Amino acid sequence: MEYSIKIEKKLKDIIENSYRDKKFEETLSGISALAYIYYQYNQFYTDEFLELFIEKVSKELNFPVLEKMSLDHNTILFYDGFGLDGRGLAYIYLKALCTLQNKKLIYITKQTAKNKQPLISEILKNTTISYYEENKGWVHRAKEINECILKYKPGIVFIYIPPWDVSAVGIFGLQNNLKRIQINLTDHAFWLGRNMFDICVEFREYGYSISKDYRYIPESKLTILPFYPHIDNCEFEGLPFDLTGHKMIFSGGSLYKTLSEDNKYYMILDEIIKNHNDVVFLYAGGDEKDKGRLNELIRKYPERVYWIKERKDFIKIIERCYFYLNTYPHIGGLMTQYAVAVGKLPITLKNGKQTEGVLLKEENSLGFYYNTEKELLIDVHKLLIDENYLHEREKELEGCLMTEQDFAKGVINILVRGKAEFVFSHKKIDIKEVEDIRKMYQNRFKSEYFDSAIANRRNKALSKYFPIMFLKRFFEVKLGIKL
């Protein structure tokens, strides 16, 4: 804890002093590093100090701002700070925007994504695509984004960014004559940019509640549009075991979502595997640093518990599983939807209000959401011994997902009215639930997060302040030598 406080203070000092000395690359790097730490630590959802300094730097950089009269309201710019292909939400938003008549779409993403987005490239064949240099510094990136805005004069911009993208936050905060629509992917955690948008699109009631009650975003700026899972028809790459005679339970996503003080996720798994000799379990994805408890299970049940890296063909794995086991204490919203899309039950132990709004049906009408571990285990036992019961229960999945057509209508409604017109009920998340989530993040936070937050190519301007950290990172990442 003392080390954490020391690093936080040092970064805040760097931000203040470098701003005073007009070394803005250092200022933005310090903000980005601290935002990444806050995202991983997740003890609060917004920070006024960081928001203030992004705004101050943006004004000092003196970039030209578009006047209202010069905007082209038939041009839409989509800024993608991730640069992924089928994964995430960019693809489905871009696909919806491509259906609009008499609208010109501009897509901007990182240079490293070039030639690595076959799905997005296919739907954007007649669209202008622009790339920014990711590793030339935050100031240079901000300049490139702003030049793109000045060139195309979009009346509307969609903002889809990681929580620490200081360039985008600064520029879109500055360009306040545009209609700025943020797609909130990271609804459960800290992110920068509370003041950079006119509309914030949440994908579930949980995120809406967090933004309203804990980020203090006015309801007039908030709307909800549930997403649908894009199914990529990729080739199946196989399994690390023979599935003959076995029933595979599959789970996946960020492993930190499985970590809790009570170890409940792994206790559930242990109980299932112990009582059903025909079950094998496969987990896909997650960081090695969060794999400790899963490794214990792998050692306890060799040739029955497996882990693989994140795979593009994960949907093909879900198609072959008996059912999908959701992560706990944090569920995987998108993984839940993928399971439903291919007709597999997403077995889910509820934790507060996280499950609300992930699927279209009321959660109380869905039998695969369980209030207690005991309820879940009893039902899982029935599912595993009776396939007819399983198939009967799978009928619950009908009508659980947003359709592509309804999603596109929601996007149009946001553009026209500022609201997706999706009917929901706002319920404030209990502070106890928020505190429990914060405690979980606090327990999983490791000192390595400081290294990955600070010592990277994005924030190389900080190397003079943290030379040992950068040197250590170089040996570990570039040379594979653990110091």
With a cut of 70, say whether residue 479 has pLDDT above it: no
pLDDT digits (tens, 9 = 90+) for 411-451: 999 999 999 988 776 778 887 778 878 887 887 788 888 99
pTM of the predicted protein model: 0.90
With a cut of 70, say whether residue 273 has pLDDT above it: yes
HSE, side-chain direction, 13 A CA sphere, residue 432? 2
**127 and 274 together in one domain:** no
Residue 4 counted as domain residue:
no
pLDDT digits (tens, 9 = 90+) for 106-118: 999 999 999 999 9
With a cut of 80, say whether residue 334 has pLDDT above it: yes
Residue 237 counted as domain residue:
no
Question: What range defines the domain where residue 214 resides?
Answer: 60-228+404-431
CB 412 within 8 A of CB 100: yes
**What's the CATH code of the domain at 376?**
3.40.50.2000
**71 and 192 together in one domain:** yes
**220 and 363 together in one domain:** no
Residue 458: what pLDDT?
94
**390 and 251 together in one domain:** yes
**206 and 273 together in one domain:** no
**106 and 156 together in one domain:** yes
**279 and 296 together in one domain:** yes
**196 and 270 together in one domain:** no
Residue 18 counted as domain residue:
no
With a cut of 70, say whether residue 86 has pLDDT above it: yes
Split into its structural domains, the chain has a count of 2
More confident residue, 199 or 256: 199
Residue 311 counted as domain residue:
yes
**206 and 279 together in one domain:** no
**177 and 97 together in one domain:** yes
**83 and 133 together in one domain:** yes
Pairwise CA distance, residues 102 & 75, whole Å = 9
With a cut of 80, say whether residue 132 has pLDDT above it: yes
Residue 454 counted as domain residue:
no
